[in-house]
Amino acid sequence: MHLKSIKINSREKIMKSYITLFFVVALLLLGCATNKSGYKTEAAVENRLYQMNKTDVLTDLGPPNTKADLGQGKEAWRYSSEVGGLTGGECTLSIVFDGNKVSSAKLSANDLSWVSFPLGSCTKIIQTLR
């Protein structure tokens, strides 16, 4: 009877260890998956950008991957990134300036994993957006 009790206690300890390990791994994955800026939707990022000027965008996001002069004082900037691993995906941010002011902003996030939302694929682009 005493030996049976020891086996049951050992099994319980092993199960508790596995459950604890599962929760630790889940918390680590969720912590890596969220973007550091705290934005949860593409619209929230776009709305923030509409409040900014060219200097603000350059300060927060750095230089774009590409720029295009659209004429008549308009300029288009494009940021893009690809993230691999569990939080992988592709992200593109297109911004049009009319003079110094943001006149159009479009963020397109293609998160490839359930652990990468919200906007996990955009972390490299928007992590410093205030």
Residue-level pLDDT at 82: 86
Judge whether 109 and 34 are in contact, CB under 8 Å.
no
Domain ranges of the chain: 1-33, 35-126
What is the 8-class DSSP label of residue 78?
E
Residue-level pLDDT at 17: 66
pLDDT block averages, 10 residues each, the chain of length 130: 60 67 48 64 97 97 98 98 79 97 96 77 90
Give the C-alpha separation, 123 to 47, whole Å: 17
Residue-level pLDDT at 75: 98
Beta-bridged to residue 69, according to DSSP, are 75
| Topology at the third CATH level for domain 35-126 | Beta-lactamase Inhibitory Protein; Chain:B, domain 1 (3.30.1450)
